[in-house]
Structure 1
Amino acid sequence: MEKPKVKNAARPAAARAKPRRKPKSLYAPDEVAEIFRRFSVQRPEPKGELEHVNPFTLLVAVVLSAQATDAGVNKATRALFALADTPDKMLALGEAAVGEHIRTIGLWRNKAKNVIALSQALIRDHGGQVPDDRDLLTKLPGVGRKTANVVLNMAFGQPTMAVDTHILRIGNRIGLAPGKTPDEVEKRLMEVIPPEYMLHAHHWLILHGRYVCKARRPECERCVIADLCKAAVKTCAIPAPLEPVGSTAFAKA
């Protein structure tokens, strides 16, 4: 005998359950605003640490900085940029000479090829000028979204969010912008950070991750947002005093 069909039979809980999305942020809007207000008081005009003299040398420096430290890139590019600070000069210098200048940087052979290729592309497609458009920038050899965002922010004053390893880590560690990928963290940060802080936001977060909220041991005792921080593990529960411009809060260890 056929069993009667039960209308709207309950499905197993696993089948009914919808995947839970991570929240945009663990912080309320006023808490996010306070975090960046404190960063702005501590460092009103944060600067990137890659040395450059114009948008082209900035673009080259950021391309070279992949899997390398800013200090290491600066050491290699000082002599390079003294000789070649435009796409035409870089192209005239040639791949071999570029490679000799950047031999101390990781993946230097491939990066030398990219520097020459992007110089050619800038001359061919953009009259030797660095474009102020993300889509155009990401079409250049060796230029990804993060590199484009850095150039747009530093060279053209656009309020972009360049998510590097520091920002990806901090976004998840303190719950400011949870996400598995740089693009996901970027999207969440753009949604939660107040517009008045966006221009400098990525520099504040990079400096915070590089010198205070370090990967191995965050120095919570030096952190100006320690009392607001929602990180699961802290090394100190007492907030540090807010230090003025020129303080050693971000001094290199």
Structure 2
Amino acid sequence: MTNTIRPLIAGNWKMNGLTSSMAEFEAMLAGAGSVAKADLLVCPPATLVGSFAAKARGSKVAVGAQDCHPKASGAHTGDLSAEMFKDLGAVAIIVGHSERRADHGETDALIRQKAEAAWRAGLTAIVCIGETREQRDAGKTLDLCGTQLKGSLPDGSTSANLVVAYEPVWAIGTGLTPTAKDVEEVHAFIRGVLTDRFKGEGEKVRILYGGSVKPSNAAELMAVANVNGALVGGASLNASDFLAIAAGC
């Protein structure tokens, strides 16, 4: 089952992109027809979700969001709910990205609530986990990932409502990547945790690798057991790079 799961290549644009970025997104849409072996998802900043989703309607590219508030509505100035993104045409929401954990002090409990909010709105939750360089050097990678999985994943997770993204924090935007052996070890551990907790559904949940994924290393990473796609950062801002990564599946 490990690599028989249809891959997902998800682009996380982070805090990048203006209305002029539509041209790059249109290039992705134009080239998506050549990608036969993977599903494609682009998660732009909130300001672009609506326009991107409208442009992508009927195409092979889905659109998602990068975060949401746990509540559906209310007095939460500046926040956006999962229902709002659903209304714009999003199909998924990234929650628990390491940059949210670090910059905003998000806890596993809060991330779990956000994943549940995504489900409430009928969206897929892409839950991110991963260790820092210090934690890896201290031999705590698997313990840390296990703790994050236990605290961040809601009960009732299935292959239809959950994607897990493993992103070693030290590899994000640095150009550094773990070895294929390191990635295989962590993804096998994640698969075991998912299977132990969610049984048959845990065997089918897509586990993405993220952290300096680019066209030059995508094929090697995608060939690793239990790697069912990628969460792509900087390279997803460029249509040709993003499509080349998808072609590596």
Q: Same fold (TM over 0.5)?
A: no
What TM-score does the superposition give when structure 2 sets the normalisation length?
A: 0.25
What TM-score does the superposition give when structure 1 sets the normalisation length?
A: 0.25
Q: Which has the higher strand share?
A: 2
